[in-house]
Amino acid sequence: MNLHKKNALAVVILAAGKGTRMESDLPKVLHEVGGKPMVSHVIQRAVELGAEKIVSIIGYEHELVKETIANEPTEFALQLEQLGTGHAVLQCASQLSEFDGNVLVLSGDVPLISFSTLQNLLETHNASTTKATLLSAIVEDATGYGRVIRNPQGNLDRIVEHKDANEDELNVNEMNAGIYMFDYKTLFELLPQVGNNNAQGEYYLPDVLSLILERGGKVAIEKTNNITEIQGVNTIQQLRDLDAEFQKI
């Protein structure tokens, strides 16, 4: 496998959480939408995009997750402590040490994300000279989501997590979808520099974007108008809603 060709793609899937609000001991990503685990839909997108390497980061009940999707074309990395999304991605550094290209970070609980939106994200990233590209969306109510704060030129200034946002930032209705494209070398060079001085005490992956900007680099933004496809699942009701949406596709 040639992992050094231009625009080679690796996909990292965040799938370590328990899903405490799901009222179930089943790992969140194993709850089903359309008759199969949510994470299986995400792995399928990665395959469709031509990913040369797919790594699922698992933690809670990791043996059950691994067993359930054993036939899927993914490798596994372990995040045994839930210390945030930045910490999660760091756990697959060794598996990607021979890789040179772009890294797409997806969430295992966002099962309706479409091939076309991800393809647009890839194309935007590859067409630009940026070290990272993030997916955003305009929503009526961005409660719970990180906010995309732009500078006067319309470019990314910073991402602010909901719990860390001030009143003005909370009024911003452009949300961070939690889906990112990174230049591999930039990502793993900056990840160890991310701190956890925030309301959650976690290592946030979006802080890598801030570090890129601080170095004078640029971060592109790809905006989607399809709010449904970027919805994550935190409750059983949200799971039912997405399952209903899946039946319409």
Q: What is the DSSP code (8-state) at residue 6?
A: T
Q: What is the CA radius of gyration of the chain?
A: 17
Distance between CA atoms of residues 208 and 213, nearest Å: 9
Distance between CA atoms of residues 50 and 119, nearest Å: 10
Distance between CA atoms of residues 210 and 38, nearest Å: 30
Residue bearing tokens 């990395």: 77
21 is catalytic: yes
Q: Which of 208, 18, 210, 28 is nearest to 103 (CA)?
A: 208
* Residue 54, both tokens: 């797919």
Q: How far out from the chain centre does Cα 126 lie?
A: 18
Q: Are 50 and 11 in contact (CB under 8 A)?
A: no
Catalytic residue among 21, 147, 158, 240: 21
Task: Show which residues are catalytic.
Answer: 21
